[in-house]
Amino acid sequence: MATSSEVGATIATVGGEGPREACGLFGVWAPGEDVARLTFFGLFSLQHRGQESAGMAVSDGERILVYRELGLVSQVFEERTLATLQGDLCIGHTRYSTTGSTTWDNAQPSFKNNGGRGLALGHNGNLVNTAELAAEAGRRGPATTDSDLVATLLARHLDQGLEEAALRVLPTLSGAFSFVMMDERTVFGARDPHGIRPLAIGRLPSGWCLASETCALDVIGASYVREVEPGELVALDDRGIRSLRFAPSPRAALCLFEFVYLSRADSRLYGRSVHDTRREMGRRLAREAPADADLVIPIPDTGFSAAQGFAEESGIPYGEGLIKNRYIGRTFIEPTPALRQRGVKLKLNPLPDAIAGKRLVVVDDSIVRGTTTRQIVQLLRDAGATEVNLRIVSPPIRWPCFYGIDMSTRQELIAAGGPIDEVRRFVGADSLAYLSLDALVSSTWAPKDAFCRACFDGEYPVDVGHTEPSKFVLERL
Ligand code: SF4
């Protein structure tokens, strides 16, 4: 049975110059534990990956119960809701939409049943053969996500069990996908053959769990086992953990932006701390693009580690110059036009005492559209900064992302065509420099070919055809 209550709120996204997040996944099989509560804490630590909706599906071995809602994890799951979600296994999802609008129907986990069997599914990523899959699936429900489409296709084969259904359907998908799935007894995790989106396996005293990032394993006391491999399907149940392969992996291509921006600094990817990697990026940036300045400040939060590295390498003091309102999140009920005009001020407040009269190095992770960066530069000047030298710990973004990060057309990318100095003029900085792609990759200690770098160099690991991605592909069919 799928249960829900529906709200009609409009969701707006505030500021945020970095690429918008993908989604957060969590799954746990642990009889005797409060699996819904473990999932709640797991999702809570993955909140940064998606703030439009949250949901979970829980099973007691007999039936699957789904609860999902628009809003933050802490808004969706009250104590009394968690108390009703009892069982031995659970999956959870936090959403940032990259296919389909922000509606209740598109919140996840998706739920389907067929012949008395049920399945629930949460997806991180974006498929690139959605139109073909939709044609194959035929009539669909009210949901307009590629994720719901996959659930529909899986449900067709449910008479053979979810494991068999997954082994049949997953090889037909093209693009980026990490999934957590469950039937009444088993939790499954899967990653696309390039492993574009992350998914890690954790061990609990009484079971197993899966999470988009290792920080969600830490918070529930699970020990990290390994990453789900590209092209692998893992099953977690009373038989332990089983590994099945649904497709060969031509090469791994983890999204390089996971290191730059998407993952939390306390997570690990490819065995490497994200914080340490970002610090190294900052050090290398200080060597590649030094600045004569009085103070290095980060754009919170993702700029923190890199700004520390820049300060260490350059010898320029590090300090905070902008304070983030952590509780506004990325999404909130749409404000009045007057409030919206305040834009970035809703989220960042400068510290004039720290900034006034100073030549600043301002470290940020990336520039996508440039509009927020421009507001931040103005904010710093208004607070008395005498110079704003922008240092970006990734190369210019010149190509759209087809794999689940919301920067989908070249037109919206400020660095897509023109010279860097045009970007500098647009954002109003005194100087602007980007980290080179080679230095960015070297900071991770993984080889260049272990990554998708397509938004920087235009080399797409999965063929994307010639059309730019549309978030509303299923609403236009
Ligand atoms: S195109 Fe860029 S943002 Fe998209 S998956 Fe590749 S590296 Fe990540």
Q: Does 463 fall in a domain?
A: no
Domain match, 41 and 164 both: yes
Strands 451-452 and 254-255: parallel
Best residue among 254, 367, 405 to mutate for probing ligand 1's pocket (most ligand atoms within 8 Å of CB) is 405
pLDDT, position 410: 84
The whole-angstrom separation of Cα 42 and Cα 313 is 35
| Res. 99 pLDDT band, cuts 50 70 90 | low
Domain match, 153 and 244 both: yes
Domain match, 202 and 102 both: yes
Written as six digits, the tokens of 117 are: 């069997």
What mean pLDDT do residues 243-261 have?
Answer: 96
Domain match, 101 and 218 both: yes
How confident is the model over 191-243, as pLDDT tens digits? 999 999 999 999 999 999 999 999 999 999 999 999 999 999 999 999 999 99
pLDDT, position 204: 97
Residue nearest to atom 2 of ligand 1 (CA): 455
Residue 351 Cα, ligand 1 centroid: separation in angstroms?
34
pLDDT, position 470: 58
Residue 215 annotated among the catalytic residues of the structure? no
pLDDT, position 98: 59
Length of the chain equals 477
Lowest mean pLDDT among 100-109, 159-168, 217-226, 402-411: 100-109
Cβ–Cβ under 8 Å, residues 464 and 128? yes
How confident is the model over 405-420, as pLDDT tens digits? 878 788 889 999 889 9
The whole-angstrom separation of Cα 90 and Cα 426 is 47
| Res. 332 pLDDT band, cuts 50 70 90 | very low
Query: Is a pLDDT exceeding 90 seen at residue 40?
Result: yes
To the nearest whole percent, how much of the chain has pLDDT over 90?
A: 75
- Residue owning tokens 């009045």: 336
Q: Which of 206, 222, 253 is the last residue of a domain?
A: 253
Query: Is a pLDDT exceeding 50 seen at residue 20?
Result: yes
Q: Does 264 fall in a domain?
A: no
Domain match, 248 and 280 both: no
Domain match, 236 and 102 both: yes
Domain match, 240 and 296 both: no
Domain match, 37 and 160 both: yes
The whole-angstrom separation of Cα 445 and Cα 362 is 25
Domain match, 207 and 284 both: no
Query: Is a pLDDT exceeding 50 seen at residue 134?
Result: yes
Kindly report the average pLDDT of the chain as a whole number.
89
Residue nearest to atom 4 of ligand 1 (CA): 401
Domain match, 366 and 305 both: yes
Structural domain span for residue 211: 20-253
| Res. 339 pLDDT band, cuts 50 70 90 | low
Domain match, 247 and 281 both: no
Nearest 5°: CA angle at 473, between 476 and 153?
A: 110
Structural domain total, the chain: 2
Best residue among 367, 410, 453, 468 to mutate for probing ligand 1's pocket (most ligand atoms within 8 Å of CB) is 453
* Burial 423-449, CB ≥16 within 10 A → b, else e: bbebbbbbbbbbbbbebbbebbebeee
Cβ–Cβ under 8 Å, residues 460 and 454? yes
Ligand 1 pocket by C-beta < 6 Å: which residues? 19, 196, 255-257, 401, 403, 405, 452-455
Which atom of ligand 1 is found nearest the CA of 400?
A: 1
Residue 206 Cα, ligand 1 centroid: separation in angstroms?
36
Residue nearest to atom 5 of ligand 1 (CA): 255
Written as six digits, the tokens of 295 are: 């103070």
Q: Does 461 fall in a domain?
A: no
Q: What is the CATH number of the domain that holds 84?
A: 3.60.20.10
The whole-angstrom separation of Cα 46 and Cα 44 is 5
How confident is the model over 70-88, as pLDDT tens digits? 989 999 999 999 999 999 9
Residue 192 Cα, ligand 1 centroid: separation in angstroms?
14
Residue 304 Cα, ligand 1 centroid: separation in angstroms?
22
Query: Is a pLDDT exceeding 70 seen at residue 468?
Result: no
User: pTM of the prediction?
Assistant: 0.91
31-35, 130-134, 138-142, range with greatest mean pLDDT: 31-35
The whole-angstrom separation of Cα 359 and Cα 278 is 23
Query: Is a pLDDT exceeding 90 seen at residue 469?
Result: no
**Residue 4 — φ and ψ, nearest 5°?**
-170, 170
Cβ–Cβ under 8 Å, residues 435 and 363? no
Residue 459 Cα, ligand 1 centroid: separation in angstroms?
10
Q: Which of 199, 219, 253 is the last residue of a domain?
A: 253
Written as six digits, the tokens of 91 are: 């999956």
Q: What is the CATH number of the domain that holds 335?
A: 3.40.50.2020
Domain match, 152 and 243 both: yes
Cβ–Cβ under 8 Å, residues 195 and 234? no
Q: Does 268 fall in a domain?
A: no
